[in-house]
Amino acid sequence: MTTLKTPILTLVLSAVSAVIQTILVSFIAYKISGLFDLAITLLSFFISFIVSFFVIYFLYNTIIFEKIDKLYLLVKSQQPKEIPNTEFQLDEVDSIERLEDEIKKLAQERHKESEQTRNLDSYRKEFLGNVSHELKTPIFNIQGYISTLIDGGINDPTINIEYLKRADKSVDRMIQIIDDLETISQLEVGTLELELEKYDIAQQVKDVIEALEFQASKKGIKFQLSKKYDKAIFVKADKFRIRQVLVNLITNSIKYGKDNGKTTISINLFDEQVIIEIKDNGIGIAEKHLPRLFERFYRVDKGRSREQGGTGLGLAIVKHIIEAHGETIDVISTINEGTAISFTLKRSN
Ligand SMILES: Nc1ncnc2c1ncn2[C@@H]1O[C@H](COP(=O)(O)OP(=O)(O)OP(=O)(O)O)[C@@H](O)[C@H]1O
Ligand SMILES: [Mg+2]
């Protein structure tokens, strides 16, 4: 339909122009000879129509279309796509409509881009605010301990060693935050290269459980494997990074688990993948928090998390690591009942 619009428009304009010219010619002829000659009128209409048609066609093609072509090329060059042949012909395409389409598309893209820039900007501001806020706490603590020691506390044997130990702990906390931030930025920029190797995930799960058992026992939390897993289950993954994932998820199950609770770890085998699930019967997470859970610094209950020494970077790192492997991570949680987080890994034979 659109391709017909321009030729039809040219025909209509030519006809209108021809009618006007014919009326004028007939009127002049009538004035001169006092007669109305149908043959002259028809001839005049025919000639005017042909001349008008070619004049309009020429104007369209050479002046307007040339300009449209240039505009179209300019609009197209703003888009990252390939530029097709844009030589328009009157009877081929309606370039005005195509131009309109391209301009609309371009406007939509620009709108999307500016929205993304705005989001990134507020994300960056929020991120900087979070980093400085998180670092302030240990820095102020260290400052407090040192000031007390300078003001005479250094000579008080009841507090001097204790305050130095506390300051040392705050330094550790700062180092941990900076390490986490470094890991996140490496994962985001893509400079962190995974070292993929074939190893036994069942053994690794057992090792991590053993390492965290003492921490869990302080809350009376018991670890449970859903099966014995006495045969090796080989995966192809970055062993160090996956250990980081397991430590983070199992630590969360302790931190946000109920006293005397239970954490169950299962490894489910599929043809090409394994799914590792860490399930607790702890405080759970309300549904409204789930979509933002993996964001940097996101904590459901800031007070509780900070009390546990959490920064809210753990799950962001976990997600990045899993995605860097090309795998997925999922969370199911019910408040006051518990949380199950599962991720996939590639099997290796
Ligand atoms: N198993 C869980 N049960 C209940 N809430 C959880 C669980 N795991 C994570 N959360 C919630 O998700 C938030 C984000 O977890 P994440 O591991 O990213 O941070 P964190 O544990 O607070 O700090 P970090 O891991 O950086 O030390 C936690 O603050 C907590 O509110
Ligand atoms: Mg954590």
Highest mean pLDDT among 116-130, 242-256, 307-321: 242-256
Q: Which atom of ligand 1 is nearest to the CA of 313?
A: 26
Question: Fold match between 122-189 and 196-347?
Answer: no
pLDDT category at 130 given cuts 50, 70, 90 is confident
Mean pLDDT, rounded, of the chain: 88
Does the beta carbon of 315 lie inside 6 Å of ligand 1?
yes
* Residue bearing the CA closest to ligand 1, atom 31: 300
Encoded tokens for 286: 């309300």
* CATH number of this structure's domain 122-189, picked from the four choices 1.10.10.60, 1.10.287.130, 3.40.190.10, 3.30.950.10: 1.10.287.130
Q: What is the pLDDT of residue 79?
A: 65
Ligand 1 within 6 A of 261 CB? Answer: no
Per-residue pLDDT tens over the stretch 21-50 = 888 888 888 888 887 778 878 888 899 899
Residues 167, 169, 171, 175, Cα dihedral to 10°: 180
| Contacting residues for 341 by C-beta, under 8 A, at least 6 apart | 249, 252, 277, 278, 279, 329, 330, 331
Look at the block and give the residue holding tokens 């590792």: 276
Distance of CA 6 from the midpoint of ligand 1 (Å): 64
What's the one-letter identity of residue 173? R
Decide if 263 contacts 253 (C-beta within 8 A): yes
Confidence check: pLDDT of 336 > 70: yes
For residue 282, the tally of other CB atoms under 10 A from its CB is: 24
Q: Span 107-122, mean pLDDT? A: 89
Measured in Å, residue 245 CA sits from the centre of ligand 2 at 10
**Mutation test of ligand 1: which of 135, 288, 305, 330 has the most ligand atoms closer than 8 Å to its C-beta?**
305
The response to whether residue 300 sits with its C-beta less than 6 Å from ligand 1 reads yes
- CA 314–ligand 1 middle distance (angstroms): 7
pLDDT score of 291 more than 60 = yes
pLDDT at residue 84 tops 60: no
The ligand with the least distance to the CA atom of 293 is 1
- 295 vs 76, which has greater pLDDT? 295
Task: Give the model confidence (pLDDT) of 227-240 as tens digits.
Answer: 999 999 999 999 99
* Predicted TM-score of the model (pTM): 0.69
Residue nearest to atom 28 of ligand 1 (CA): 299
CA of residue 312 to ligand 1 center, whole Å: 6
Q: Ligand 1 center to residue 71 CA distance, Å?
A: 54
pLDDT of residue 214: 97
Domain range annotation of the chain: 2-93, 122-189, 196-347
Least confident of 51-60, 271-280, 316-325: 51-60
Round to whole Å and give the CA distance between 242 and 185: 18
Q: How far is the CA of 147 from the centre of ligand 2 (A)?
A: 32
Please state the atom number of ligand 1 nearest to the C-alpha of residue 312: 19
Nearest to 291 by CA among 331, 322, 346: 331
**pLDDT reported for residue 248:** 97
Domain covering 196-347: architecture: 2-Layer Sandwich (3.30)
The 3-class SS string of 115-138 reads HHHHHHHHHHHHHHHHHHHHHHHH
Confidence band for 2, pLDDT divided at 50, 70 and 90: very low
Min mean pLDDT across 4-8, 91-95, 332-336 is at 91-95
Atom of ligand 1 nearest to the CA of 253: 1
Q: Which residue's CA lies nearest to atom 9 of ligand 1?
A: 252
Please compute the mean of the pLDDT values over residues 144-170 and round it to a whole number: 96
| Burial per residue of 237-261, b for 16 or more beta-carbon CB atoms within 10 angstroms, e otherwise | bbbebbbbbbebbbbbbbbbbbeeb
Q: Which ligand is nearest to the CA of 297?
A: 1
What confidence score (pLDDT) does residue 304 get?
A: 67
341's tokens: 């987080």
**How many other C-beta atoms can be found within 10 angstroms of the C-beta atom of residue 278?**
22
SS3 (DSSP) at 302: helix
- What b/e sequence results for 2-40 when a residue is b if at least 16 CB atoms lie within 10 Å of its CB, and e otherwise? eeeebeeebeebbeebbeebbeebbeebeeeeeeeeeeb
**CB 294 less than 6 A from any atom of ligand 1:** no
Alpha carbons within 13 A on the beta-carbon side of 171: 9
Tokens read off for 156: 């008080």
Output the CA torsion sign for 141, 142, 148, 154. Answer: positive
- Phi, psi (rounded to 5 degrees) for 161: -70, -40
- Calpha distance 267→270 (Å, rounded): 10
